[in-house]
Amino acid sequence: MPSGCYGEAAAFVLPPLPPMPHPPADITQVLLPFGGLVGREVDLDAFLQTLMDRIATTMQADRGTLWLLDPARRELFSRAAHLPEVSQIRVKLGQGVAGTVAEMGQAINVPDPRGERRFFADIDRMTGYRTTSLLAVPLRDADGALYGVLQVLNRRGGDTFTADDTERLTAIASQVSTALQSTSLYQELQRAKDQPQAPVGYFFNRIIGESPQLQTIYRLVRKAAPTDATVLLRGESGSGKELFARAVHVNGPRRDQPFIKVDCAALPATLIENELFGHERGAYTGADHRMPGKFEAATGGTVFIDEIGELPLPVQGKLLRVLQDREFERVGGTQAVKVDVRIVAATHRDLARMVAEGRFREDLYYRIKVVEVVLPPLRERGAEDIERLARHFVAAVAKRHRLQPPRLSPAALERLKRYRWPGNVRELENCIESAVVLCEGEILEEHLPLPNLDRAAPASVSAAPASGEDRVASEAAAGGSAEAGLLPLAEVERRHILRVLDAVKGNRTAAARVLEIGRNTLSRKLKEYGLGDEA
């Protein structure tokens, strides 16, 4: 299991903690600043490292280490630690103090490691660090199962750790465990225990994947998040744009302020302006009072404009003014309203092409793509990411429906890897949910609601991400037509919609969700294709 790749710059994600010269009387204060973050898309490396900083300070220790259990190797590995000398340390169960705590399940206090048989001196020789005192306690989950060890080294002032310190660190470990069980990190550890052969990966909480494309995106998000730079997320429907938009928000300085989403594809063009900017009393019939819009509601926070390519041209001009001057006028108003917001936008469309066709303002296009992040479709992320996500959804769906997590058969897993996923991660999640609900203890190939297409197509990795329309065109081409890539855009769209509809067995609500369009929009397009209301 990886130790994570962001330790070298972890401190920027969370604000620095104030010095704590003396342990707080109430140990619950140790985790208070983190309670609101554990269920969100935070950078886990930064979260854990800052947590260890606070624990070490609270315990008056020089260093601290969070060890987690690798069940496949029967080893502990350092997941967050004050280890400037090395990136990660592993010890066998029963090896050293931490390994002994993991094997025996009891706290160990070593006031002087000299002559202590349980002390693993090789780590000091490896790091050049001299341990003079050590305290380690087990980490247990809600069922009492041990899955890690919390350890502190060298009590400051030359003192040794006392029985009170043992009690204090045990109480902190209980809180740390409660916090960790709300993150995807703990879910990954549980899946690794149940499926030792399965790949494991975690970088941002709730975002699963380790493909080279995602690692590039993680680095971009980590650089962009602490700024107020406008971010444009491009990618096919269902590729995770909203999840990464939230990651930008919660890893930045506005994390404690509102995150407001506006879905331009789900709103009639006549209502989008009112939704974004609000209206004055009397602006139109029925407007009997002033109504603030999303920008005012998000003051101090982030506005996420989903499917910005659907924004009508007149509204694009008002949005440009917000980006340039941070002000706008409500519908029916004449007074400028100042606003302090960050803007993150997303689209599956090729905005550069829309600019060339006169359907999107060129000046707005360059204003919103200060930082551009292109999300790869699931089929380009490789078989291992598909497996990670599939196992993640099996566990998550089983928990949501209060079911025992079923086993994922090798044949079903291979089928998932071969399928090309036109609806991306969202389609995979819906597929797994159906299989979990309908299977009996094991997900077989026949439980997967997938069409008999692309059975021979392997999951691949592409070096250069294409635009949304280009990816849709390639998807249509893979459906069986050698010249599909040369078809008009409308025909490519038609084929893609029909393939998604087939994949969800004609369920229009599910198809609209996969395509990230409104159900009424889907119905209108199907009528245009001559399929009628019952298609």
DSSP string, 1-44: ----S-GGGGGGSSPPPPP-SS--SSGGGGTGGGTTTTTS--BH
What's the rounded mean pLDDT across residues 366-384?
A: 93
Give the model's pLDDT for residue 482.
Answer: 35
Place 332 in a pLDDT band, splitting at 50, 70 and 90: confident
Give the model's pLDDT for residue 35.
Answer: 46
What's the rounded mean pLDDT across residues 350-365?
A: 94
Give the model's pLDDT for residue 188.
Answer: 63
Place 412 in a pLDDT band, splitting at 50, 70 and 90: very high
More confident residue, 50 or 373: 373
What's the rounded mean pLDDT across residues 286-310?
A: 89
Find out whether 151 and 98 touch, Cβ atoms under 8 Å.
Answer: yes
More confident residue, 148 or 456: 148
pLDDT tens, residue by residue, 12-29: 233 333 343 444 444 445
Q: DSSP 3-state assignment of 147?
A: strand
The gap between the terminal CA atoms of the chain, to the nearest Å, is: 47
Give the model's pLDDT for residue 255.
Answer: 80
Report the percentage of the chain scoring pLDDT > 90.
36
Give the model's pLDDT for residue 129.
Answer: 87
> Is residue 39's pLDDT more than 60?
no
For the whole prediction, is pTM greater than 0.75?
no
Most confident range (mean pLDDT) of 2-16, 433-447, 513-527 is 433-447
More confident residue, 403 or 520: 403
Give the model's pLDDT for residue 80.
Answer: 77
| H or E element in which residue 476 lies | helix 468-478
> Is residue 69's pLDDT more than 80?
yes
What's the rounded mean pLDDT across residues 173-183?
A: 80
More confident residue, 144 or 535: 144
With tokens 């919660």, the residue in question is: 250
Q: 501-506: long-range contacts (C-beta < 8 A, 24 or more apart)?
A: 501/526, 501/535, 502/451, 503/422, 503/423, 503/427, 503/449, 503/450, 503/451, 504/427, 504/430, 504/449, 505/449, 506/535
pLDDT tens, residue by residue, 83-132: 776 667 888 899 899 999 999 999 999 999 888 888 888 888 877 889 99
Give the model's pLDDT for residue 86.
Answer: 64
Give the model's pLDDT for residue 289.
Answer: 82
Give the model's pLDDT for residue 203.
Answer: 42
User: How much is the mean pLDDT over the chain?
Assistant: 79
Among 59, 64, 62, 72, CA closest to 48: 64
Most confident range (mean pLDDT) of 270-279, 302-311, 485-494 is 302-311
Give the model's pLDDT for residue 4.
Answer: 32
> Is residue 374's pLDDT more than 70?
yes
